[in-house]
């Protein structure tokens, strides 16, 4: 196996931001109700330092987030991980979304939820903790944001 040196924190932050902004960014979004985990892939946009998701307001992701307020969101691959613990700040029905959300989402992704249906919502999430790691040697310094503040 080829081993590479651990990336400096600044390089990891740059990789995280690249991952969040490259078109199109898909993420694994984990939510929960009581002790029951839920997990689905969703397409995200990174707008105004927030993760913006779009899904049916009746979906388990939306109802779990509305009830619990927290999600754990993974980007990348299992061996090049970006892991984001995030907090729901707002849920906006697609028809009521401001331009920076609705046009921003459509411009960053490959679909426009406004064309999908009336029950769709944008979920606006504020990152609270961001971690990034590839191999074992990057585990120790994997935390790049804590309590919503970049450490680098």
Asked if 71 is part of the footprint of a second copy (rule: CB under 8 A), the reply reads yes
Binding-site member from 19, 56, 81, 152 for a second copy (CB under 8 A) = 81
The upper half-sphere exposure of residue 129, i.e. CA atoms within 13 Å in the direction of its Cβ, equals: 9
C-alpha dihedral sign at 92, 93, 95, 100: positive
Under a CB-based contact definition with an 8 Å cutoff, are residues 35 and 29 in contact?
no
- Mention every residue, 6+ apart, whose C-beta is less than 8 A from residue 11: none
Asked if 140 is part of the footprint of a second copy (rule: CB under 8 A), the reply reads no
Asked if 40 is part of the footprint of a second copy (rule: CB under 8 A), the reply reads yes
- Residue (31 or 55) nearer to a second copy, CB: 31
Max Cα–Cα distance, the chain, nearest Å:
51
- Residue (28 or 106) nearer to a second copy, CB: 28
Query: Applying CB under 8 A, which part among 11-19, 27-35, 46-54, 137-145 lies near a second copy?
Result: 27-35
Residue 98 Cβ vs a second copy, minimum distance, rounded to whole Å: 27
CA dist 22 → 45, 64, 92, 107, 133 (Å)? 9, 27, 24, 11, 18
Q: Which stretches of the chain bind a second copy, using CB under 8 A?
A: 1, 26-28, 30-41, 64, 67-68, 70-72, 74, 77-79, 81, 83, 110
């Amino acid at each position: 196996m080829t081993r590479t040196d651990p990336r400096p924190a600044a390089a990891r932050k740059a990789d995280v931001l690249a991952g969040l902004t490259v078109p199109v960014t898909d993420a694994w979004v984990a939510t929960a109700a009581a002790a029951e985990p839920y997990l689905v892939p969703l397409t995200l946009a990174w707008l105004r330092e927030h993760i913006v998701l779009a899904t049916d307001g009746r979906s388990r992701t939306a109802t779990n987030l509305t009830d619990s307020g927290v999600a754990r969101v993974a980007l990348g691959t299992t061996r090049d991980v970006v892991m984001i613990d995030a907090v729901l700040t707002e849920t906006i029905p697609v028809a009521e979304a401001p331009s920076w959300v609705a046009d921003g989402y459509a411009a960053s992704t490959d679909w426009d939820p406004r064309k999908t249906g009336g029950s769709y919502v944008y979920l606006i999430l504020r990152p609270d903790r961001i971690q990034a790691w590839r191999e074992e040697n990057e585990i120790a310094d994997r935390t790049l944001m804590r309590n919503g503040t970049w450490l680098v």
